[in-house]
């Protein structure tokens, strides 16, 4: 019998899969009212559903634990399973056992959703059937199909932590910056988690600008400098324009990209390198790039009202992501009002505070960590708001022309279910 830990989106997807496979399971969650309780009850018999504190008896007659990524490795039930030599695996490892098409894995502290979506669209536009999932969109197990040519999975460090066996045709660690340090004993443990992706890759892709990534055989490289090999991807600046290169060949002017910011150039380079590793046609990939509109909640332009452009960057849940968003906009707008705040991460925010003081005249702060953030901003004018609606309303009075950017640099769970809800609330208020 299998034990599923966690009754969220991933846990329900595991339950559905095991039911189709006619595999017996019990499912447990240490919350009394987990978010997917009602959907589960509507689809499954609740005889083997256990809520509340983990009990050792949950492991009786269990030969494998399949765990949701949100459950930490130091939870008593996880420790006890390992003490009893019961394998603890992720839904990703279970997916890999049953996938009959090549899998591409994408991870990184920032940018992984955008690269996953862009590569998926490249594969589809090259005439292949593709499924996109994992840590984005559908859970991996719900992507399984005999009609798929390629699977493109966004993989979080949490998912990689519980994966010991995974077969990837190609994969990339886009970047590594301090994040989720409430979950890891140190930054070094987080780095190890991210880099574990490469042990599963047949044909890896490496970010040449990321000093924490290794040098590997059979790898394609990408970065913002001139490519060192004819099959690698990079850029060159000439006559004031930045060009995307494959080897020595210029593929396009970066100004042709529909998305703003250097980080999106890097995302494009990563997707190109992954695409070449699986044999996609370069011309087909370039057509996709020129029409790619990006993902919701990632420096997403919402609307323009009274000479003010509104941007939703709710996915920015750490300082580096907000720094990226500000840098993407400061060359276009003289005046930017930043709406930030939520639950501050355990990371160094000093670079963000310095950037705000140098480039942002007004900041509106919300959420649990608002005061802590505000105490470290010295030049920009700081206003506090007790709701998203109040934040948008006050922000709109602070400038006559420019941009209002929601880029929180914090987790959302003090005020919202997740970053998607936070971004949608922002957009609804703006519109």
Residue 387 is classified by DSSP as: S
Q: 335 vs 125, 345, 382, 399, 408, CA distance in Å?
A: 39, 27, 15, 7, 18
The residue assigned the tokens 């705000």 is: 356
Domains of the chain: 2-86 (3.40.50.720), 93-291 (3.40.1190.10), 300-430 (3.90.190.20)
Judged against a pLDDT cut of 80, whether residue 350 lies above it is answered with: yes
Judged against a pLDDT cut of 80, whether residue 29 lies above it is answered with: yes
Predicted pLDDT of residue 299: 93
Predicted pLDDT of residue 205: 98
For residue 383, name the pLDDT band (cuts at 50, 70, 90): very high
Catalytic residue among 2, 112, 315, 345: 112
Farthest-apart Cα atoms in the chain, separation: 70
Please tell me the distance from the alpha carbon of residue 129 to that of residue 422, in angstroms, as a whole number.
Answer: 33
Predicted pLDDT of residue 315: 93
Judged against a pLDDT cut of 90, whether residue 183 lies above it is answered with: no
Instruction: Determine contact, residues 220/232, Cβ cutoff 8 Å.
Output: yes
User: Among residues 264, 241, 262, which one has the least CA distance to residue 253?
Assistant: 241
Instruction: Determine contact, residues 412/289, Cβ cutoff 8 Å.
Output: no
- What percent of the chain has pLDDT above 90? 90
Predicted pLDDT of residue 331: 86
Backbone angles phi, psi at 180, to 5 degrees: 55, 30
The yes-or-no answer on residue 112 being catalytic is yes
Predicted pLDDT of residue 136: 87
Predicted pLDDT of residue 177: 87
Taking the model in full, what pTM does it have? 0.86
For residue 364, name the pLDDT band (cuts at 50, 70, 90): very high
Please tell me the distance from the alpha carbon of residue 325 to that of residue 19, in angstroms, as a whole number.
Answer: 43
Judged against a pLDDT cut of 90, whether residue 137 lies above it is answered with: no
Catalytic residue among 2, 180, 344, 427: 180
Catalytic residue among 135, 175, 312, 318: 135
Provide the token pair at 34. 């987990």
Judged against a pLDDT cut of 80, whether residue 179 lies above it is answered with: no
Provide the token pair at 304. 């323009």
Predicted pLDDT of residue 344: 95
Cα pseudo-dihedral 268, 272, 274, 279, rounded to 10:
160
The yes-or-no answer on residue 135 being catalytic is yes
Predicted pLDDT of residue 240: 84
Length of the chain, in residues: 431
Judged against a pLDDT cut of 80, whether residue 320 lies above it is answered with: yes
Judged against a pLDDT cut of 80, whether residue 252 lies above it is answered with: yes
User: Each residue of 210-230: pLDDT tens digit?
Assistant: 999 999 988 999 999 999 999
Which of helix, strand or coil describes residue 388?
helix
Please tell me the distance from the alpha carbon of residue 70 to that of residue 66, in angstroms, as a whole number.
Answer: 12
Q: What is the mean pLDDT of the chain?
A: 95
Pairing of strands 343-344, 336-341: unpaired
Predicted pLDDT of residue 239: 84
Provide the token pair at 280. 């996609």
The secondary element (H helix, E strand) that includes residue 163 is none
Q: State mean pLDDT over 287-296.
A: 92
Q: Which residue has the higher pLDDT, 261 or 355?
A: 355
């Amino acid at each position: 019998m299998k034990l599923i830990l966690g009754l969220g989106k991933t846990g329900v997807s595991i339950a559905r899969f095991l039911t189709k496979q006619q595999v017996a399971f019990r499912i447990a969650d240490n919350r009394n009212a987990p978010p997917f309780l009602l959907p589960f009850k509507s689809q499954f018999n609740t005889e083997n559903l256990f809520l509340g504190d983990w009990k050792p008896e949950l492991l009786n007659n269990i030969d494998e634990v399949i765990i949701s990524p949100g459950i930490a490795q130091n939870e008593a039930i996880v420790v006890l399973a390992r003490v009893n030599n019961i394998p603890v695996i992720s839904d990703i490892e279970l997916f890999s056992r049953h996938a009959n098409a090549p899998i591409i894995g994408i991870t990184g502290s920032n940018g992984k959703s955008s690269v996953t979506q862009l590569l998926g669209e490249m594969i589809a536009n090259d005439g292949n059937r593709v499924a996109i999932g994992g840590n984005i969109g559908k859970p991996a197990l719900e992507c399984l199909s005999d009609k798929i040519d390629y699977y493109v999975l966004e993989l979080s460090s949490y998912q990689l932590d519980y994966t010991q066996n995974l077969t990837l045709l190609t994969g990339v660690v886009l970047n590594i910056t301090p994040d989720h340090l409430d979950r890891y004993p140190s930054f070094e443990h987080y780095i190890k988690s991210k880099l574990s992706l490469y042990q599963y890759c047949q044909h890896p892709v490496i970010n040449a600008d990321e000093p924490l990534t290794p040098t590997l055989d059979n790898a394609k490289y990408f970065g913002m400098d001139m490519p060192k090999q004819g099959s690698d991807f990079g850029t060159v600046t000439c006559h004031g324009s930045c060009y995307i290169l494959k080897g020595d060949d210029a593929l396009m002017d970066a100004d042709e990209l529909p998305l703003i910011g250097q980080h999106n150039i890097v995302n494009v380079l990563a997707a190109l390198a992954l695409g070449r590793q699986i044999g996609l046609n370069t011309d087909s990939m370039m057509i996709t790039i020129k029409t790619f509109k990006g993902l919701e909640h990632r420096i997403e332009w919402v609307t323009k009202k009274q000479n003010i452009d509104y941007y939703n960057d709710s996915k920015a849940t750490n300082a580096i992501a907000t720094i990226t968003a500000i840098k993407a906009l400061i060359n276009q707008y003289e005046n930017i009002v930043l709406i930030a705040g939520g639950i501050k991460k355990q990371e160094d925010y000093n670079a963000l505070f310095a950037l705000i003081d140098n480039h942002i005249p007004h900041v509106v702060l919300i959420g649990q960590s608002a005061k802590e953030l505000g105490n470290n901003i010295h030049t920009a004018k700081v206003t506090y708001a007790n709701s998203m609606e109040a934040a948008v309303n006050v922000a709109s009075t602070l400038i006559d022309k420019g941009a209002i950017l929601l880029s929180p640099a914090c987790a959302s769970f003090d005020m919202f279910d997740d970053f998607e809800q936070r971004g949608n609330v922002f957009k609804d208020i703006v519109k």
